[in-house]
């Protein structure tokens, strides 16, 4: 019987199955590519998503994510809404500026933000320029730059004010992006406000001229701010239940301060005298009004009126401060800066200045004062003079011919590894 031969048949190599991107029918994520006129191919910065709704309609939608994980999360959110029957494709074209600003107003109220009044002033100016009914898709970077130029060209408008308004516009866009009202946030450039230590401060002579031009109702406000360094809205809104004149004590709750922390001042001297005078005015003329610094009718003084009258008084007194763009009219905040600098010059520790003025961190205070300490630097120069005197003068003055001193560049070269042959 013949032998059986075993023939090995080579096994076919199995090709690896292509990895599927996801479950079929659950949408996809991709990064679009575009072909330019010169033939070059460019990838989009942001990912897109594709999905099908409950009616079988396919949708292609851009996301604001430059990472695939973020785009996949956006796709998951869309599919979740479809499964729950909540899907409604946002119509970005119909969203107006009024929709964004109203949403920001509600957000501030819901979160109990303290700066709702400042926000409202900024939003009103934005709506006056762009118009409330304007569609946000049509607001471009050029339009925003035009707004900045328009505001800076207006009388008594400085770039910090424009910065607050642009910040409000950016906050409205970001909230709209979060609420799926807009596709993207335009580039809103906010000018750097660094270098406050170089801004102006009032001299004693300038402050005397200023008080001679201010309306009567603002005289005690200016005196009080110059003595306490308070932010202007704190005294303008100050009420008598926050003040104890007999004890010389002032207490502001965290709800009323910018830092959100309670502010307590133990007053003495001229600052306390101002409050005593205001108390007498209250008892004689406005016993039923709660404001410490009222206007002629006993009502609170609005910020815009206080600023306009303050700058008008500075103009009549011929007071202006230099800045990078030329000169500017002072504002109430310059009195706050003047207080901080005068306090440091007179030896008040920075910690106490921060407590009185309400600066939360040392870094914030230094934006008003600068890094350098005048007393420390002068003391350093005195010590150096003493050290030079103890040495009997510099070596240059001790030599008969100081010109023969060799500079390091003219000294003969000697390799550091060469041993000294002379012993």
What are the boundaries of each domain within the chain? 28-89, 93-193, 198-369
- Residue 89 pLDDT greater than 80, yes or no: no
Identify the band that residue 413 occupies on the pLDDT scale cut at 50, 70 and 90: very low
Long-range contacts of the stretch 72-80 (C-beta < 8 A, 24+): 72/29, 74/49, 75/27, 75/28, 75/29, 75/49, 75/51, 78/27, 78/49, 78/51, 79/26, 79/27, 79/51
Question: Counting every residue, how long is the chain?
Answer: 423
- Residue 309 pLDDT greater than 90, yes or no: yes
Q: Which of 57-88 are b and which e, b meaning 16 or more Cβ less than 10 Å from the residue's Cβ?
A: eeeebebebeeeeebbebbeebbeebeeeebe
Q: What pLDDT was estimated at residue 25?
A: 61
Domain 93-193: which CATH class? mainly alpha
The fold of the 198-369 domain, in CATH, is hpI Integrase; Chain A (1.10.443)
Tell if the pTM clears 0.85, that is, is over it: no
Question: In the predicted model, what is the mean pLDDT of the chain?
Answer: 82
Percent of the chain with pLDDT over 90: 39
* Spatial separation of the C-alpha atoms in residues 288 and 256, rounded to whole Å: 22
Question: Over the stretch 346-388, which tens digit does the pLDDT of each residue have?
Answer: 889 889 999 999 888 888 888 777 666 666 777 778 877 887 7
Most confident of 74-88, 241-255, 324-338: 241-255
Long-range contacts of the stretch 366-372 (C-beta < 8 A, 24+): 366/197, 367/194, 367/196, 367/197, 368/196, 368/197, 368/336, 368/337, 368/340, 368/341, 369/197, 369/340, 369/341, 369/344, 370/197, 370/198, 371/197
Percent of the chain with pLDDT over 70: 81
């Amino acid at each position: 019987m013949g032998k059986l031969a075993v023939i090995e048949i080579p096994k076919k190599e199995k090709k690896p199955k292509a990895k599927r991107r996801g479950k079929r029918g659950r949408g996809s994520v991709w990064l679009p590519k575009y072909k330019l006129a010169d033939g070059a191919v460019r990838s989009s910065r942001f990912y897109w998503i594709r999905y099908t709704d409950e009616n079988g309609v396919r949708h292609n939608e851009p996301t604001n994510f430059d990472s695939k994980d973020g785009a996949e999360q956006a796709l998951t959110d869309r599919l979740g809404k479809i499964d729950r029957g909540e899907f409604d494709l946002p119509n970005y074209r119909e969203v107006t500026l009024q929709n964004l600003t109203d949403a920001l107003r509600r957000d501030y109220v819901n979160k109990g933000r303290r700066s709702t009044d400042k926000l409202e002033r900024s939003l009103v100016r934005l709506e006056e320029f762009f118009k409330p009914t304007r569609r946000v898709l049509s607001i471009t970077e050029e339009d925003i730059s035009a707004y900045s130029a328009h505001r800076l060209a207006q009388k008594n408008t400085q770039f910090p004010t424009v910065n607050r308004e642009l910040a409000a516009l950016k906050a409205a866009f970001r909230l709209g992006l979060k609420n799926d009202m807009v596709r993207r946030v335009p580039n809103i450039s906010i000018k750097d406000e660094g270098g406050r230590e170089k801004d102006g401060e009032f001299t004693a002579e300038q402050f005397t001229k200023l008080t001679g031009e201010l309306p009567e109702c603002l005289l005690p406000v200016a005196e009080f701010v110059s003595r306490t360094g308070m932010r202007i809205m704190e005294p303008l809104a100050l009420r008598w239940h926050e003040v104890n004149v007999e004890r010389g004590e002032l207490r502001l709750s965290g709800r009323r301060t910018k830092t959100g922390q309670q502010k307590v001042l133990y007053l003495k001297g001229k600052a306390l005298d101002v409050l005593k005078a205001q108390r007498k005015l209250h008892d004689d003329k406005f016993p039923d009004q709660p404001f410490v610094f009222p206007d002629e009718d006993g009502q609170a003084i609005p910020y815009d009126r206080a600023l306009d009258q303050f700058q008008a008084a500075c103009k009549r007194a011929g007071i202006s401060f230099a800045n990078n763009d030329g000169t500017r009219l002072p504002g109430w905040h310059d009195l706050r800066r003047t207080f901080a600098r005068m306090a440091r010059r007179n030896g008040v520790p920075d910690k106490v200045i921060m407590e009185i003025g309400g600066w939360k961190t040392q870094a914030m205070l230094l934006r008003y004062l600068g890094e350098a300490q005048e007393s420390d630097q002068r003391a350093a120069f005195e010590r150096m003079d003493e050290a030079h005197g103890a040495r009997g003068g510099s070596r240059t003055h001790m030599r008969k011919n100081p010109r023969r001193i060799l500079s390091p560049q003219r000294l003969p070269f000697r390799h550091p590894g060469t041993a000294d042959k002379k012993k």
